[in-house]
Every structure is written in C-alpha cells, then in structure tokens.
Amino acid sequence: MEEKIMFDNPNIGILGLGHVGLPTALGLADIGWNVIGADDLKSKAQDIANGDAPFYEPGLSEMLIKNINSGRFSVASSVEEAIDASDVIFVCVGTPQNDDGSADLSQIENAGRTIAQNSNTNKLVVEKSTTPVSTSLRIKDTLRRYAKENVEFEVAVNPEFLREGTGLYDFFNPDRIVLGVESEAAKNTLLQIYLPLLAQTNPSDISDKEIYEAKSNDKFVITDVNTAELIKHASNSFLATKISFINLVADICEKSGSDVSKVAKGMGLDPRIGSSFLQAGLGFGGYCLPKDIKAFTKIGEDLGVDMSFFREVDNVNIRRVDQIIDKLKGKLWVLRDKTIAVWGIAFKPGTDDIRESPAMALIEKLIEEEVKLNLHDPKAMEEFKRTSLSEYSNIEYFTDPIDSSNNVDAIIIATDWPEFKSVDYKNIKDAMQYPFVLDARNLLNPVEMLDIGFDYIGVGRYS
Ligand SMILES: NC(=O)c1ccc[n+]([C@@H]2O[C@H](COP(=O)([O-])OP(=O)(O)OC[C@H]3O[C@@H](n4cnc5c(N)ncnc54)[C@H](O)[C@@H]3O)[C@@H](O)[C@H]2O)c1
C-alpha cells in the first residue's frame, strides 16, 4: 500500500520571483495549480503584481497577464503572507558566488529561517535553487531549529534545468524532472504537482492511481536529496566542460589550419557526444555555468576530492576573453583611441541577462585599453546602463547595429544573436574606418564575409 500524498491539491508558494521562480510560478499556475509568489525585493514584487515582467524572456509577459487574469497566480504583499498561504513552498532564491568560489547560501538560509518562523501549518519545502551537495540537510536543520511548536517540515530537492531565453518552453517541455525526497509522502506530493505537465491535463483530472504509477514515467528521476543536488552541479559542470573542450580544440585548429566548426560537426553527429555545447567562441557565461563549476570545485575540494580538472575547465574559459583581445591587437596593434563596435552584451541570445556575460568581461578589457566603444544589444542595453562599466566616458549606445558601425576600426560579435546574421554587411563595409569583423561567436559565414571584402577572423577557423 502506497503511503498517502502529503498534501492533496496543495497550494503552492514560490519564494524568489527571478529568472527561475517567475517562469516556474507561471508554468505551475498555467497547468492548473493555485500559486502565490513572493520576492523580498518589494519593487520587483509590485511590478510583477501589476503585470510587468521584470526581465526579458520570450512569452513571459503574456504568460504573466494570462495567469493573473485566470486568478491562479498572485503575488503576496510579503514573503510571510506567501508562506502562510502555501502547503508546498519552492525556494527559488539566488545562490551567488563568494570570493573563494563557494556558493553564498545566505539567501537560502534566510528563506529557510523565514519559512520556519512564519509557518503555522506543516509544509513541504522544495529547494529549486542550485546548491552544493548537503545544502538541503542544512535547510532541514534550520527549519527544525526555528519551527513553531507542532509544525513539521519536510525538505525535498527539485533542481531546475530551464535555460534563459527558452525558460517557459523548457518548463513545459522538460527533459527530466529530478525529485530528491526523503519520504513517499513528499515524493507523491511532487509527482502530483508535476503530473499534469506530463499528462497534459488538469490537476483535478489526475487520479491517485496515476500519481502512484507516475514514478515509472521515464522523465522522473527519483532519488535522495544529496544525489538530486549533485545531478544539477554535475550537469552544469559537464556542459561547461564541453564548451572549454571545444575551445581548446579551436586553439589547435587555429595553429594547424583546421576548422573547428567541422570538427564539432564531425564529433557531434556521434550520439554518444551530441552536438550541443560544442560551439567554440568567447566561452560560457550567465548565472549558472561559471558560478556552478566554481561551487562544484569548491565543495569537491572541501570533501577532499582533487578537483583540478574542473578548475582547469574554468581557467580555459576565463582565458577566452584575453585571446579575443590578443586577436584584436594582432590586427589593429595599439587599441587606444580606436573605435570598436561591440555587438552583444547579454550572455546569450534571447535574454537581457548580463550576469557573468563574457561580453561584459570583454567590454571591461576594452575599457582598460581606452578604446571608444559603440555598443549594441537587441535587449540588454538597459541592463548594461545600470552597471559601473557604463560610467566609462567613451561609450555610445546604438539601437541599430548598422549605425553603430560608422567609422569604427572593428566590429566584435560577442553574443550570437541570430539577427546579426541578417545584417546587410555589404552596406556597412564602406562606412567602417577599416572593415574588420572579429566574430567571437563564429556566427557568420567566413567565405561570404571575405567575398564581401571584410577582413574577418572567427574562432578556430581558417580565416
Ligand atoms: N538563471 C538560470 O538560468 C537558472 C537556471 C537553473 C537554476 N538556476 C538557479 O536558480 C536560482 C535562482 O536563480 P535566478 O536566476 O532565478 O536568480 P534571480 O536573481 O533572477 O532571482 C532570485 C530572486 O530571489 C529573491 N530573493 C532572495 N531572497 C529571498 C527571500 N528570502 N524571499 C523571497 N525572495 C528572495 C531575489 O530578490 C531575486 O528576485 C539560483 O540558485 C540559480 O543558480 C538558475
């Protein structure tokens, strides 16, 4: 006989309405759950409550309005209110990095303590943020330490795998749903929550029998809490490894006159390798891979494991930006007072997120070289203007990439926004001081660029 579900038809709370929390909240509301979200940044919570998405993500604004109007998604006026109204609470707060590379878990600890101090009924607390192995056990201790009398907590781990830029698509089309649990009751509650997503049906149409049988669905990986945390860190470290791997191959290609895009294609067609994350270029960035590989390295070292392999994966990545600067200098010699157009600031296309963006590291180096900067990004320019780099006096911003190329000594493509492929390059060549394109993302066709008359350099390719 299966143990009962912990909460039948639970009310769901989401703490932290960022790049993970908001799509998750809206996705869960959209499949039929009552979801209340909260963010301790009051202005952000207020914007979301008013139907204004706080960051760019395809489809997010529409999904926000839709689920506010359906009444299934609401924003609490305080974190405490969301805790009180929920049975199952997904913790989606930030886990930034400390100076030593370890994960800063203060937001996690704070969320755990706040939940404990404000819960008057039993709760299932689900850690969705990316955390080092054993963090959920620390959350469990915290919950117990601060719990009110007669209130009990269970902790589960449900790492998130969505990719910014396709966050909502990824919610509705998961490759896998990892559930780290400590009891049948917690497992069945989480199966109940996610089953409508896989069964494409309403929560009310799902029978108990289907919930109990769901554990044999291939998409669910059901395990213990520590293993669930490790699945996330190991996955991101593997993806980072693929990128650094192909970037080193690109270096060999450059020295040997070979073409890394063909090497990657030839490798990627092998299903054991796969073609994704084999694009040579400026390296990985964003709020996941750079900090997660550092945190994974640190927790491994703390546990006495030699993590030099992963440390080198990170070092290879950090060197990519310097290599692009070297290529620029190789062509233009002294950079001071040259005008350089940088296309792309976001860490990847489809988002305005510039956290740990390699383009930001590149811009910082160009500023150190005292160049004049013409900046263009289809979505991330406003985010950039909020950073200290924007205080540099020699920056001009352009909403149109063509305008940004007037009289420049070089264009650097730093983010592979697909719209950069369809720019009329013939049109801009003559407007440039010198027609040099440094394609740090291998976005363009080298043969076409050379045919137009550009001096063109990519990464790990012939030219
Ligand atoms: N961004 C991604 O693509 C991605 C993908 C998978 C996993 N993750 C992981 O998910 C977690 C969240 O990442 P993110 O990108 O959504 O971060 P984010 O910075 O966009 O959002 C975190 C939010 O939590 C809020 N917050 C902090 N403490 C809080 C508290 N005690 N109560 C309520 N709200 C609080 C912050 O104000 C912020 O709005 C991280 O651990 C990250 O590593 C991120």
- Decide which of 223, 250, 268 is a domain's last residue: 223
129 and 273, same domain (yes or no):
no
- Point out the residues that are catalytic: 288
41 lines ligand 1 (CB under 6 A): yes
- Last-in-domain residue among 167, 198, 223: 223
In a domain, 362, yes or no: yes
> What digits encode the pLDDT tens for the residues 401-456?
999 999 999 999 999 999 999 999 999 999 999 999 999 999 999 999 999 999 99
What is the mean pLDDT of the segment spanning 366-393? 98
Give which of 402, 401, 362 is closest to 384, Cα–Cα: 362
Ligand 1 nearest-atom number relative to CA 163:
3
Nearest to 171 by CA among 31, 379, 44: 31
Using the mean position of ligand 1's atoms as its centre, give its distance from the Cα of residue 306 in Å. Answer: 29
The response to whether residue 40 sits with its C-beta less than 6 Å from ligand 1 reads yes
What is the separation of C-alpha 380 from the centre of its chain, rounded to a whole number of angstroms? 15
190 and 104 in a single domain? The answer is yes
Gap from CA of 39 to ligand 1 centroid (Å): 10
Q: Indicate if 217 and 124 belong to the same structural domain.
A: yes
Same domain, 199 and 246: no
Do 27 and 52 belong together in one domain? yes
Q: What is the Cα gyration radius of the chain?
A: 24
Q: Is residue 4 part of a domain?
A: no
Are the CB atoms for 48 and 10 separated by under 8 Å? no
Q: SS3 for 343? A: strand
39 close to ligand 1 (CB < 6 Angstrom): yes
What's the CATH number where 124 sits?
3.40.50.720
pLDDT at position 216, please? 87
* CB of residue 289 inside a 6 A radius of ligand 1: no
Split into its structural domains, the chain has a count of 2
Are residues 217 and 242 both part of a single domain? no
For residues 295 and 442, state if they share a domain: yes
Residues 318 and 212 grouped into a single domain = no
> Is 7 inside a domain boundary?
no
Kindly state whether residues 65 and 120 are assigned to the same domain: yes
CA of 434 to the centre of ligand 1 (A): 43
Task: Band the pLDDT of 463: cuts 50, 70, 90.
Answer: low
Q: Whose C-alpha lies nearest to ligand 1, atom 43? A: 130
In a domain, 3, yes or no: no
463 lies in some domain: no
Q: Is the domain of 189 the same as that of 246? A: no
Is the dihedral angle over the CA atoms 13, 132, 319, 276 positive or is it negative?
negative
Residue 6 lies in a domain: no
Mutate to test the pocket of ligand 1, among 60, 89, 93, 284 (most ligand atoms within 8 A of CB): 93
Phi, psi at residue 150, to the nearest 5°? 65, 15
Mutation probe of ligand 1 site: the residue of 15, 17, 19 with most atoms within 8 A of C-beta: 19
Residue 308 belongs to domain spanning = 232-457
Q: What pLDDT, in 10s, does the model give residues 167-218? A: 999 999 999 999 999 999 999 999 999 999 998 888 999 998 999 898 889 9
Range scoring the smallest mean pLDDT among 26-35, 115-124, 200-209, 408-417 = 200-209
Q: Tell how far the Cα of 111 is from the centroid of ligand 1, in angstroms.
A: 11
> Ligand 1 within 6 A of 127 CB?
no
Is there a single domain that holds both residue 300 and residue 372? yes
Residue 462 inside a domain? The answer is no
Strand partners, 150: none
Asked which of 223, 253, 284 is the last residue of a domain, the reply is: 223
Give the other-Cβ count within 10 Å of 265's Cβ.
12
Return the DSSP state at 27.
H
Residue 250 domain-assigned? yes
Query: 268 and 217 in one domain?
Result: no
Question: What amino acid is encoded at 152 in this protein?
Answer: E
- Torsion-angle region of 139 (φ positive above 0: left; ψ -120 to 50: alpha; else: beta): alpha
Which residue's CA is the closest to the ligand 1 atom numbered 36?
16
Ligand 1: does its nearest atom lie under 6 Å from the Cβ of 360?
no
